[in-house]
Amino acid sequence: MPLPLIILTVLLTPFILAMLSNIAFGTKIHKTIACYWSLGVSFLVFSAGHFFLTDGMVAIVPPFIPLAKVLVYITGILEFFIGISLFIPKLRRKAALLACIVILVFFSANIYAAFAHIPVGGYKHGPIWLLARTPVQAILAAWAYFLCYKEKLGPA
């Protein structure tokens, strides 16, 4: 399954299940689930990629950036803390804002990988792959902003 579809599946599955619960049982949990489970779990999955697919992540770091492997591990730790923080009510809004920033900053690595034809994770398809990832990253950023940062959610 291509990476954008995996990301959308991880993001949308808890949200869709919560929406079905809303319909079936009259609950009002879909926005809470969208923030905690959908985005939080997504960032934990993204984080794991930095540790289990390190060489692929290093390959998409532009060569002018020093200590690429260290940077990949640091950003993996950052994504882990964003994911965990989305489950903590006091940290959720800051984590969501940081998620938006991270998504925007990491997009530059995706641009480099696509145009340099780095053959990892589908990037071998070049700029076409970038076009497939762009809407997914826009969805992630909008999700973080509108459902976790802007929306005031209670504890769950």
Predicted local distance difference test score (pLDDT) of residue 123: 59
Tokens of 153: 């959610």
* 17-34 residue pLDDT tens: 878 877 888 777 767 777
Measure the CA–CA gap between 16 and 32, rounded to whole angstroms: 12
Answer whether residue 75 shows pLDDT above 70. yes
* Residue 101, H or E segment: helix 92-115
Answer whether residue 133 shows pLDDT above 80. no
Helix axes 92-115, 127-143, angle to 10 degrees: 170
pTM above 0.85, yes or no: no
